[in-house]
Structure formats: structure tokens, C-alpha cells
Amino acid sequence: MVMLLESNAIPKTAKRKAGTLNRVLMIVLMTACAIWLVVPFTMAVLWSMVDPQTGWEYPDLLPPSLTLLRWAEVWTTTALPQALANSYMLAPTVAVITLILASPTAYCFARFDFPGKGLAQILTLLPLVVPGFVLAIFFSSLIFSLGIYSRFLSILMAHCVLFLPYAIRVMTVAFGQVRQDLIDAARDLGASPLAVFRAAYMPALLPGVLASLIIVFIQSIEEFAIAFIVGAPDFTTIPSILYSYLGYNFIRPNAAVVSLILVVPNVLLMLGLERLLKSANPAQSGVKG
Amino acid sequence: MTLRRGLLILALLTPGLGVILLMIGSVFYVAVMQSVGFYNLTGEDSFSLEHWRKVLDSKQFGRALSYSAYIAVVASIGSVAIAYPIAIWLRRPFRGSLVISALLKAPLFVPGLVASFLFLNVIAYHGIVNQLLMWIGITNAPIRLQNDRGAWGVVFLQLWKNMPFALLLLTGAVQSISDEVLDAARDLGAGGFDRFRKVIAPLTVQAMQASLIIIFIGAAGDFAFQVTAGPTNVQSMAQYMVFLKDSFGRWNQAAAVGLSLMVLALFGSLMLAFTARILSKSGKW
Amino acid sequence: MTALRSTDVSKVFEDGFTALSDINLSVEPGEFVTLLGPSGCGKTTLLKIFAGFYAPTTGRIELNGNDVTNAPPEKRDTAMCFQSYALFPHLSVAENIEFGPKQNRIDRTSRTGRVNELLRQVDLEQHRDKLPNKLSGGQQQRVALARALAIRPSVVLFDEPLSNLDAKLREQVRREIRGLQREFGFTAIYVTHDQAEALAMSDRVVVMRGGRVDQIGAPEEVYERPETAFVADFIGSANLLPFRRVDDHSVETALGRLTVADQPDSSARFLCWRPEDAEFGVTQGENLITANLSERAYQGSYTELHIPLPDAPDQRLHLPGVAAGIGDRITFRLSPERIRFVRGELE
């Protein structure tokens, strides 16, 4: 076959042309990705490890010495621990409450047909249509006039509403994947309602539940507008702390540290979610679709 | 549709849809009321259209409005225009296509503020871009790239953040077109761009519209990118709104600006989606 | 001038799989040629090479005398009817048909005339504004054909167009396709794995296996005078027996000594006779065979009976009606003229 390809008698085939074009595009895009992703992240990591003693000044291409001291310093001297605690207390609570609020509606969408259903489904997307800062500003006016002073509670409420569309969507799909024939089979074999739930509903719901929890969790951790407007200055979250380092006092190393703290767990969670969704699928495809 | 079933459905919808409607409805109500003088957090409540007049007359408002509209249009059309060819290129798998696809979608994992930081870092006065430019010999001294007046920084950040999202939506849509339909178009004489105009665009209109709408709304209401990387001589609508609230507590005017921003976001995105649909259906680009 | 010619065409894919080797085929204008073979034999690959979706690894493709080996589909004077019809889901029937002429910049009046004419010919006038998903399979097939014909191609390529239709409809659409081909006079290359279709529709049949052509000929030729064991067995059924040459007119087989009319040449591997050639109710003459029956399958118009042989596959007979049963002893005659010799292996 190799000899065939090298022979002069062969015209350059269309498939070969497509192959080289693909390869060229790949190289171009890989380079672009390097600039797009790798370089900025490397810079961030480097900056987070700059030795407070020596600093990193031009014209050095790389910081003269790397140390984890910066991380320790940020941890002990700034409000980061508090922000971390706040964020990581808020997010799971939001995730769970949102899931509980979303499930009945999702169940309804997945298993019932009724007039106005299409409209109802579109209306659940409302929180996505309002720009984040507008929501934040007016929401803060609202709670102020209602006399709610707990910032944690306020942000919690706002986050739940803001992320309900995601949870509803994910859970609607999950409920939709519950197979009626499995429910029928379980009942036919005499299972109690609880057993029916465990046998027929749970396998389809479990990936959806986990997906919903993870997605809402990540959204809550990253959410900036409401945390900033409603929370400031008492209740800080990781994004609002990061913002304070990006403002007029651009403290690069601190910003780098907080950025990494914000991104790395999220990436790990998202990868975990992807793996989870992939492994869940085989369980769902029955013998006959 | 029995009464019992109807009640059951309503009960099921309440914790989810009901909460959404309640919250958004209240917020909207407060917005409207505030803009006409009520819910005055720093002064007397009284009905007045004065706040609207002040806002609409203000030059700053006009500039903020056109600026936000500009950013929103460029971000949405730009993201979709860049994402389409890539989605079509990645339509059928080839060696390395999964890797490229994952790399291009990576920015979806990066929150906006982090993106701002990474960007600022890279274009900083002593950052790598400047160092590269000097090393190549294009410039002799570092140039100030931050907060440029042309808003290129903001545009770049918007594209960086939104193009992967458009790519996500468009990839699914483009992959759902069967190979044979595209082959048939080729067979009947349609070259690359013709196939896009006449087959791919009309069949992926919904994903295109969804991308345009969501990106437009997000970009119109941007605060973070503008404050960290944007030009200092003009404000975005969101920035202006926060500014009004923070300085002298002009909540009522801030409310008017906020409502205007909602109108811009909704109206602009729907206009864009409508135009896209018209162009796609007619096949005349 | 031939309408379509492939010379020494082969196709090897990127993963090393050889789909086609040594394809030499010449098709006259107005001919209806069928590429017939089991799945994986390369017939669809060859069709796609004719259309331009694949380029051959070696060899040349000529269309009406022009070398089109490297021309892409959009620049060839061919049109394809796809197995899945591939109608544009967002366009109506009339718009689908209009697509090609519009692409070729035909002016509006001529275009409309052409579309109306075709709609009439495929009897879909009252469906002209419907979307494809509102049509039945047979109707979609007709739209696909009209769409291909709208660009007035010299060659129309059919990729198993009837495989998604049910049996009754298949027959009807088959006749429609052949009818339209005769009326318009275009050259047709038709791919199918259904040998009944191939025999009924074609001027010539190209039997393919494993990326190679086993035999090319008119349907009668390919059925009555198969050249290889594969062709004999693929079209209709065949009984294949190893043999030993005794003299010029007789051979020794597991069925006994048989008188033959044809002489086996050096490449002949099997003796071949068809189940329906067995003659019954004959008590005299050459090639009288008596044997016990082992299996029986009633098929309506005939009953299939099996004669077991040591060291050879069961020989099959087709008896009209119900006749004999298992364990019965049966006598039949094989006319020497109906015995053929074929080369090649079955597997």
C-alpha cells in the first residue's frame, strides 16, 4: 500500500488533500490554544508562586524564585479563608435547595401534558433573560424594603431562583428517561411504591440528581453579580474577593492565587461530571430502545 | 382535564416555576416602581417621571446605551461567526478532533473574573505580550494595552468567553444534519458557502438564534469585563447603573437605567434572532 | 462514445482496507447497469467514486469522454438518488426539485417549467408545497428521483433506492424508475443487493464480490451461464459439486457419472446445476439419478427437497406442488445442456 501511494501514477486524491488541510488547521489551532489557554494559565500559576521577598520584575522572563509562601501569606493575611468558608457553605446549600424546588416541576414537565405547557417551560427560563446585575440591584432593593437583613439568606434565595432553570432542565430530562415499561414491570411483580421508586426511578434519576447538584454548585461558587451587590461588604465570596484584587489595587499574586482556587476545583468537578454522565448512559439503554 | 389533575399540576409547578415567577415578578415590580419614584431607599416616596427624564436626557446614558449595544452586537455576531466554521469543520470526527473540541470549549469552565485576570496579566505593562512585541522588534518600549479606548480588550474577552458557548450549541445542531443531505447538495452543484447558506444555516437556525440571544443578553449586561479591562471614558449600562446607585444613592435613576438595560437586552436580542431567521430562510447572505 | 468508463480503478482507504481492485467497466449511453453483490462487496464505494464523493486510489474515471477522476461531485454531470432519499427537510417538494437548476443558474421561467413537468411525470403535482416529512416513503423516493432528473444529468446513480420500502411498493416503484429511465433516456447505474431487482430491471448486471468484479453480462447470461461459483450461488440457487473428468463428455461426481454437453476447462472447479432444472416423471435417458430425500420445505409454488451426499453439500431440488416427503425415494433427470462448469471458490 505504501508503494502504491508513492507511485507517480497516483493522482493526489481528494481524501489526501482533506487530510493535510486538517493537519494544518490542527497545528494552527493548537498554537492558538496554547496562546488562548496555556500561556495565561501558566502565567497565573507562576504569579501565584512569586517569592514575596524577591518579586518578579521586568526584564526577567520568569520569576527569579518560586515559593509557596505567597499562598500562605494570602491565606493568613487576607479575608480569603472567610470567603472560602462562605462560598463553600453557600454553594452546597443552594444546590440542595434548588434541587428540591426543581424536582416537582421537572416531574410535571416530564410526565404530564397540559395546555400551556410550552409557555410554562419557556417561562422557567426567565432568570436567564434578565441581566445579572439588573437582577442583583433590584433584588437588593427588594430585600431591603422587605426588611431582610441576613446577607447569607438573601444571596441564598437569589441564587436558588437564578439557578432553578438549570436544575429544572436537567431533572426534566432525568425524569423523562425513567422508563414506563420498567415501572410497569416492577408493579406487575408486586413491588411496593418505595420499591418501584428504587427499581425504576432511581437508576434514571441518579445521574440527573448528581448533575444538577454539581452544575448548581459550580454556578453558585462562580456567581459574582449578586454576591457583590448584595453581599458587600460583609459577606464575601471568592469571586468578590477576586474582584477586589482586580480593582484599583491590582495585587497580581493574590489575584493569581484566588483565580486558581476558583478554577481548579470547578474543572475537577466538571470532569467528574462528564465521567459520571458517560458511565451512567449504558444503564439507561435497554435492550430495545 | 379534571379539576383534580389541574390542581395537581399547579401544585407540582409551584415550588419551581412558581418561585421563579414570584421572584422575577417582584423584582420587575420593584424596578418599575423604583423608576417612577417609589421604594425610595434614601428619601421620600412619591410618583414622578422626573427620574426617567433625567436619565433619558443624560448624555452619559446615551453613550452607555450605544456602547453596551455595540459590545452586545459584536460579541454575539462575532462569537457565532467564528463558531460556525469551527463547528462545521468538527462535524465528523477525525484524528485529534476530540482534543481540539475539548480545548476550544475549555473557557466555559473559566469564570468571567478569572478570565479578566488572565487577560490583564497577559497584556500587562510588563506582561508577556509586551515582552514578545519588544523581542520581535515591533516596539522599543512597553505599550499600555490595558483599558484601551477602542474597547478591544472587552471585545476580546467577550469572544473568548462566548465563542465556546456558541460552539457548544452549534456543534450539536450541525452534527444532527445527515451526511447524505449535505452530499445531495454537493451532488446538485452546491459548493462550500452555498451549502452553508442553503442547507446548514436553515437547518440550524434554532441553535443560531439561541446562541445569539443568550450571548447578546450577557454581553449587554456586562459589568466585570468593562470595569477591569474596558475603556475609562465610557461606561457600560450595568456599570452606569451601579455608579448611580453608589454615588448619591440615586436609586430611582439607577432603576430607570436598569429597566432600560432589560429592554435593550430583550429587544436587541429578539431583533437579532429575528434578523438571523429571515436571512437563513431566504438563503440570501 | 461511452457514457461512463472506469479504467483500472482501485480504492484503498486510509486505514488500509482495500475496498476495490481492478475495476474496469464501460457503460453505453442509455444503458441500465446494475452493480449487484452482498454487503461489503464495494458496490456503493464504486458508485460514490462515480459520483465524486471518493477519489480512486488508482485508475481513471471518464464521463462522456472527459476525464473526471479528480472532479468533485458539484462539478460532475452525474446525479445521485440516495438510499435515505436525502431530501432537504426545510424545503417543499417543488423547492427540493428546483434546488439543482437554481444552483446551475437556470433562469426562473425555465426552472419553473422544468419543475412542473417533472412533478407531472412523477405524479406529485398536488403535493408540490408539502414538506418531505409529510410524504410517504414511496412519494419521497419519487421526489428524490425528480430532483436528480431536474439537472438533466447524463448519468443517474441509484444507491439501493428501494431498500426502505415494503415489498409491494418496491415492485411498483421499480417499474416507475425503469419507465422513467426509458422515457428520459439517461444512463443509469443502480446499486442493489437484491438479485430479483437486478434481473428484472437491468440491461447488464455487474456481479461484485470482495471489491472485485466476478462477472458482467445481461441478466439471462449471468443467470443461465454463470462463470464463477459465487455468481452461480448468489443469483438464484445452485448445486455445486466437485467433479473428476472421465472423458470428453462425462464426469464423475458424488451423484454418479454424468453426461455433460459443455467441456470443463482447466480453471473449472465445480459442476453446477440449478434445483429447478431437475426433470421428474422421466424413466429413461442419461443422467437419471435416484436418491433418498432428507429435508423438505414447502414454498407455495414449489417444494424444496434435499438429497444428502457424503463429503458434499446437500443437493437441492425444486418440485412443483407438494409431491414427495422425507424418507421418500425420488428419481429425476438432469439434462446435459443444463449442467455448467464454474471456476472459483464459494468463500
Residue B237 identity (one-letter amino acid): M
Show residues of chain C in contact with A1, CB under 8 Å. Answer: 12, 16
Joined grid coordinates for residue C313: 453439500
Res B95: pLDDT: 78
Cβ contact C6:C50 at 8 Å: yes
Same-domain pairing of B101 and B31: no
Of A61, A112, A246, the CB nearest to B116: A246
Same-domain pairing of B205 and B245: yes
Alpha-carbon distance of B14 to C309, in angstroms, equals 78
**End-to-end CA separation in angstroms for chain B:** 47
Distances (CA, A) of C332 to C294, C300, C318: 16, 21, 11
Show residues of chain A in contact with C17, CB under 8 Å. Answer: none
Residue C175 has pLDDT above 60, yes or no: yes
Query: Could you tell me how far CA A257 lies from the centroid of its own chain?
Result: 20
Q: Which residues contact B229 (CB under 8 A, 6 or more apart)?
A: B116, B119, B120, B146, B147, B153, B154, B157
Cβ contact B260:B237 at 8 Å: yes
- CB atoms closer than 10 angstroms to residue A123: 16
Show residues of chain C in contact with B184, CB under 8 Å. Answer: 80, 82, 86-88, 147
A38, A60, A96, A133: best to mutate for the B interface, most B CBs within 10 A? A133
- E strand or H helix at C311, and its extent? none
C17, C20, C57, C76: best to mutate for the A interface, most A CBs within 10 A? C57
pLDDT (tens digit per residue) in C83-131: 889 999 999 999 999 999 988 888 999 999 999 999 999 999 999 999 9
Same-domain pairing of B31 and B53: no
- CB atoms closer than 10 angstroms to residue B46: 10
Joined grid coordinates for residue C312: 458434499
Cα Rg, chain B, nearest whole Å: 23
Same-domain pairing of B136 and B258: yes
Q: Which residues in chain A (169-198) have CB-CB distances under 8 A to chain C?
A: none
Same-domain pairing of B91 and B144: yes
pLDDT (tens digit per residue) in C93-105: 999 999 999 888 8
CB contact under 8 A, A10 and C55: no
Q: Which residues contact B223 (CB under 8 A, 6 or more apart)?
A: A132, A133, A225, B236, B238, B239, B242
pLDDT (tens digit per residue) in B59-107: 889 999 999 999 999 999 999 999 999 999 888 888 778 888 888 888 8
Mean pLDDT lowest among B128-142, B176-190, B192-206, B235-249 = B128-142
Q: Which residues in chain C (93-132) have CB-CB distances under 8 A to chain B?
A: 99-100, 103-104
How many residues are listed for chain A in this entry? 289
Mean pLDDT score, C213-241? 93
pLDDT (tens digit per residue) in C304-332: 888 888 878 888 888 876 666 777 888 88
Mean pLDDT score, C232-254? 89
**Residue C17 in contact with partner chain A when CB distance is under 8 A:** no
Res A59: pLDDT: 56
**Residue B203 in contact with partner chain C when CB distance is under 8 A:** yes
Residue B180 identity (one-letter amino acid): E
The reply to whether omega before A233 is within 30° of 0 (cis) is yes
Query: Could you tell me how far CA B109 lies from the centroid of its own chain?
Result: 17
3-state secondary structure of C239: strand
Q: Can you list the alpha helix ranges (DSSP code H) found in A112-150?
A: 117-123, 126-129, 132-146
**Residue A13 in contact with partner chain C when CB distance is under 8 A:** yes
Nearest chain A alpha carbon to B134? A59
The reply to whether omega before C320 is within 30° of 0 (cis) is no
Cβ contact A142:A226 at 8 Å: no
Chains that touch C (3 or more CB pairs under 8 A): A, B
Residue B1 has pLDDT above 70, yes or no: no
Q: Which residue has the cell 401544585?
A: B11
Alpha-carbon distance C211 to nearest alpha carbon in chain B (angstroms): 23
Please give the model's pTM, rounded to 2 decimal places.
Answer: 0.80
Q: Is residue B191 part of a domain?
A: yes
Cβ contact C153:C187 at 8 Å: no
Q: Is residue B43 part of a domain?
A: no
Res C199: pLDDT: 95
For residue C208, which of C332, C13, C40, C321 has the smallest C-alpha distance? C40
- CB atoms closer than 10 angstroms to residue C286: 14
Alpha-carbon distance of C161 to C192, in angstroms, equals 8
Of B178, B183, B189, the CB nearest to C151: B189
Q: Is residue B149 part of a domain?
A: yes
Res A38: pLDDT: 77
Residue B18 has pLDDT above 70, yes or no: yes
Alpha-carbon distance C9 to nearest alpha carbon in chain A (angstroms): 11
Same-domain pairing of B77 and B193: yes
**What is the count of structural domains for chain B?**
2
Q: Is residue B79 part of a domain?
A: yes
Residue C186 has pLDDT above 70, yes or no: yes
Question: For position B78, which CATH number holds?
Answer: 1.10.3720.10
For residue A158, which of A146, A170, A169, A174 has the smallest C-alpha distance? A146
Same-domain pairing of B25 and B63: no
Q: Is residue B40 part of a domain?
A: no
Distances (CA, A) of B254 to B34, B199, B224, B283: 9, 46, 18, 43
Return the axis-axis angle of helices B237-246 and A132-146, rounded to nearest 10°: 30
ipTM greater than cut 0.90: no
Alpha-carbon distance of C155 to C25, in angstroms, equals 14
Same-domain pairing of B116 and B222: yes
Q: Is residue B44 part of a domain?
A: no
Of A10, A15, A19, the CB nearest to C54: A15
pLDDT (tens digit per residue) in B208-242: 999 999 999 999 999 989 988 888 889 999 999 98
Same-domain pairing of B142 and B109: yes
Cβ contact C178:C219 at 8 Å: no
Same-domain pairing of B149 and B272: yes
Show residues of chain C in contact with B180, CB under 8 Å. Answer: 82-84, 86
pLDDT (tens digit per residue) in A70-112: 777 777 777 888 888 999 999 999 999 999 999 999 999 998 8
Res A55: pLDDT: 64
Residue C127 identity (one-letter amino acid): H
Same-domain pairing of B5 and B114: no
Domain span at residue B185 reads 49-282
Res A13: pLDDT: 42
Q: Is residue B253 part of a domain?
A: yes
Res C291: pLDDT: 84
Res A288: pLDDT: 33
Cβ contact B109:A270 at 8 Å: yes
How many CA atoms are closer than 13 Å to the CA of A284, on its beta-carbon side?
19
Res A248: pLDDT: 66
Joined grid coordinates for residue B197: 447558506
**Residue C13 in contact with partner chain B when CB distance is under 8 A:** no
Same-domain pairing of B56 and B28: no
Residue C297 has pLDDT above 70, yes or no: yes
Joined grid coordinates for residue C14: 486510509
- For C150, phi then psi, to 5°, come to -60, -25
Res A167: pLDDT: 93
**Which residue stretches of chain A have pLDDT < 70?**
1-20, 51-65, 248-249, 279-289
Alpha-carbon distance of B280 to B261, in angstroms, equals 28
